[in-house]
Structure 1
Amino acid sequence: MSSTIAGIGVLQAVVYLLFIRAVDLYEREPLSYVVAVFVWGFTVAVFVSVVFESILQYTLGVMTSARFAHALTAVLGAPVIEECAKGAALFLVFLFSLLLARSRGEMEFSGVMDGIVYGSAVGFGFSLAEDLLYYVQFGPETFVVRRIFGGFGHAAFTSLTGVGIGLVPWVRTLPAKVALPLLGLVGAMLLHAAFNLTATLFGALAYAFLFLVVLAYLVLIILWLAFERRVIRQELCEEARTGTIDPREYPLMPTYFRRKLHYARLLSRGRFGHWRTDRRVHAAAVDLAFTKRLARRSGDPARRERVERLRERILQLRGVSVGEPEGL
């Protein structure tokens, strides 16, 4: 029975992970990156947190009572240690993405949604490992309650760090590039500390606070997806006028579900070649839209060069075989 409960908890974390990646409608992050930060959260971040929190609590316990030392560690120490341990994975992924961008010209970690995906992934891994430790200490009831009510907690906290890092490519000045990740990390620490303080003082009432945090997290996702849709519509309007994008295909680009319906129609009619080409054209067009916006915001010459390469790629793909949008 106990192994079944633990197995369901693991399955829940995997479902959460796949869900948050799927919510990134327009430019999904590589699954290998997402899994890597999840594993970091489950292993490295938890190990580092347990070691340093144990040292801190022992040190404070020498100077004060064990109960007060535990409370101080939970409210002041744990948020700093855990958010730094989780945030380290996001900084590493960003640096790796930056190195690849210099060779390929393609930045995998850019924008609010990317930060939310990676921040959530490392948070899901950390939360699962932490809850399994609680299972061993306090039994299945505690594990089930934490899984049901707190599964998105660490994801929401660390997403703030991810958002700060994800906005770095969108700003030009060095002070802003340094300040945004730090502000995101501090925000994650403060939100985490507020939750732990509420839990310390009011117990289960902390989950009501966490509900509001997760609600804000979901609203942020919805708002950024709406922003991305607007960017696609605005940036590709010019491309449709100049002929890079087929004007008949342009209405498909900003709407994820219309594109999926279009692909389903092609598959149902056995037009597999058109299906493959259209998917590539549309993916390159969405990439072009975001790259154009980033090129203007960042002023990076490499991004302007990538804009031209993407235009050439779209024209080449369309020249090979262009699937005509249906039902428009």
Structure 2
Amino acid sequence: MSSYSHSPDSSDHPVPEYPDHARRTPEFTTVPTAPEQWHYTPRRAFWESKAVRAGALFTLLALCGVIILALVRQQIGTEGFFVGLALSILPVPVLIWAFVWLDRVEPSPWKNLVFAFAWGACAATLVAILANEYATELLATTFTASPSQTDTWGATFVAPLVEETAKGAAILLLFLFRRRHFESVVDGIVVAGLTATGFAFTENILYLGSAFGEDQAYGSSGLQSSTAATFFVRVVMTPFAHPLFTAMTGTGFAIAAMTRPGRPWRWLAPIGGWLLAMLLHGVWNSSASLAPLGFLAMYGAVMIPVFALVVWLAIWSRSKELATIRAQLPVYAMAGWLTPPEPVVLASMKARSVARAAARRAHGDAAARTVREYIAFATHLAFLRAAAARGTAGPHFTAREQELLHHLWQRKDVAQPALTHAAWATRPAGPAAWGQWQQQQIGPYPQRQYGHQYGPQQPPAQPQPQDQPQAQPYAHPYGRQPPPYGGQNL
């Protein structure tokens, strides 16, 4: 069962007029207003309520954070905790910025990203500390091994299993309850990377605080100190280590989300990614027991190439996201929901930026925010249609599509002129190049011609209301189809 939640007066919402200024010039004459609140809301049982789940997760993560804080402070002391905290936080902003930049094409909900980081910093670290300690004691008592052997075995076999499972649990939860946000490989890498960044942040506090305590006990200082060596290895050389390992698990879940139900990859990809994450983690941990030359050889032969491969995969997947937008949105432009230049503009990060800047100059931050929301909804619409083509859109495809189309319609008066301006501002130089780009990128639309930005034209036809709802899949949510793009200019 499901329902539609909207404002009380939206049951007989008329189709807004199609303004002439949005078709003829990039100028803005409409002051943006707050869009109408309207969204698809599935009916859920009490224990499936978003509020109940969010409250339970917040309570769990807060409790884990308090416990982990007490444990770390007990092990390394108050002074060591603050030193470790100050040093461990240095790479965190850089890593977060990198993952947020990677996720710019189709940004994940900020709640998902905050949950991923908090889970890694609190819940996953707490599980790892307790489980690793228990497993180390079990190895020592079962195999009667020396302390050095126990530490080596624990780091090589136990820690990868425990830590990658604990971090992967966050990805599993988002996969189960927020699957529609896994729309590309980038989404899996970003969620996994932020989870691992939170985990590495808390773990580094423990390691750096312990090293500082050793230096205080033995009187070491300068570059020869244990704190400096630990900082160089964990923060300078390998800040990407944990995100790199867990990215394998995230990629596996992203592939599973994009795979049609019933196919083997649906369950093989997450398991394979999790096993690969443990393998890389174990290989890296085992290199710590080697001589310095062996450690550097492992770093250059394994870590750097794998890191470069994952970076290439992330950037390639990001480019595929833009290609998906370019391929899926023209059908909505032909149906009249979008203007013809929009599929090309929305598939260009530069054009998006130009559109937001133009809206900000014309009407300030409110207009820029409206354009940004319009871009986000259009991007989700493209990925939703791509998922439908793969057979992974789920049973609520129509309701979700109507929701996204409604939000686009509410923001079009402000967003479409800005996007039209961006199409013209980012056009290739020269008439020949412009004509070729126009034909190849925008494509021929039936009964439409596009001339110069300021060329002569006839005003667009006014929308005509229809007595019966449209039977097409792209009809207006209230039973009326939007008027076609009537202008002749880009």
Do they fold alike, i.e. is TM over 0.5?
Answer: yes
Is structure 2 residue 241 aligned with structure 1 residue 147? no
Q: Identity percentage over the alignment? A: 27
Deviation at 1:5, TM superposition (A): 7.0
CA contact (8 A) 1:169 1:294 kept: no
Give the corresponding residue for 2:310: 217
Compared CA separation, residues 19 and 321, structure 1 to 2 (3 A): closer
TM-score of the aligned structures, taking structure 2 as reference length? 0.60
Q: CA deviation at 1:228?
A: 0.6
Among 180, 190, 212, the alignment partner of 2:269 is 180
Distance in 2 separating the partners of 1:265 and 1:234? 25
For residue 315 of structure 1, report the CA deviation from its aligned partner.
Answer: 3.4
Counterpart residue number, 1:104: none
Question: What residue identity is the alignment partner of 1:207?
Answer: Y
In terms of fraction of residues, the more helix-rich structure is 1
- Maintained 8 Å contact 1:281/1:318: yes
Structure 1 segments, 4+ long, off by >6 Å, are none
Match of 1:238 in 2: 331
The aligned counterpart of 2:158 is 77
| AA of the residue aligned to 2:279 | L
The equivalent of 1:323 in structure 2 is 417
- The aligned runs of 1:35-184 (5 Å cut-off) are 35-62=114-141, 63=143, 64-98=145-179, 107-139=180-212, 140-145=227-232, 146-174=234-262, 175-184=264-273
Q: CA deviation at 1:150?
A: 1.3
Distance 1:240 1:132, change over 3 A: same
Cα RMSD after superposing both structures: 2.4
Which of 317, 342, 362 aligns to 1:269? It is 362
CA apart distance, 1:319: 5.9
Distance 2:278 2:129 in 1: 17
Which segments of 5 or more consecutive residues in structure 2 lack a partner in the other structure? 1-78, 213-226, 425-490
* Contact 1:295 1:304 (8 Å CA) reproduced: no
Instruction: Name the TM-score, length of structure 1 as normaliser.
Output: 0.88
Could you tell me how far apart the structure 1 residues matched to 2:182 and 2:342 are?
Answer: 27
Match of 1:196 among 285, 296, 307: 285
**CA deviation vs aligned residue, 1:218-262 (integer Å, no higher than 9, x gap):** 111111001111111111122223322101333211012221122
The aligned counterpart of 1:102 is none
What residue number does 2:59 align with? none
The answer to whether the 8 Å contact 2:125/2:203 transfers is yes
Q: Which deviates more, 203-212 or 178-187?
A: 203-212
Q: Distance in 1 between matches of 2:369 and 2:121?
A: 36
Counterpart residue number, 2:68: none
**Does residue 1:19 correspond to 2:98, yes or no?**
yes
Is 1:286–2:373 an aligned residue pair? no
Figure out how many residues of one structure are paired with residues of the other and give that number.
Answer: 320
Which structure would you say has the larger RCO, counting Cα contacts within 8 Å and 6 or more residues apart?
2
Deviation of 1:45 after TM superposition, in Å, equals: 1.4
- Could you tell me how far 1:88 is from its partner in structure 2? 0.9
Please give the alpha-carbon distance, in whole angstroms, between the structure 1 residues aligned to 2:96 and 2:414: 37
Structure 1 Cα separation of the partners of residues 415 and 174 of structure 2: 36
Structure 1, unmatched stretches of 5+, are 99-106
What is the alpha-carbon distance in structure 2 between the residues aligned to residue 171 and residue 78 of structure 1? 31
State the one-letter code of the partner of 1:184: G
Structure of higher CA gyration radius: 2
Measured at CA, do residues 279 and 45 of structure 1 come closer, stay the same or move farther in structure 2, by a change above 3 Å? closer
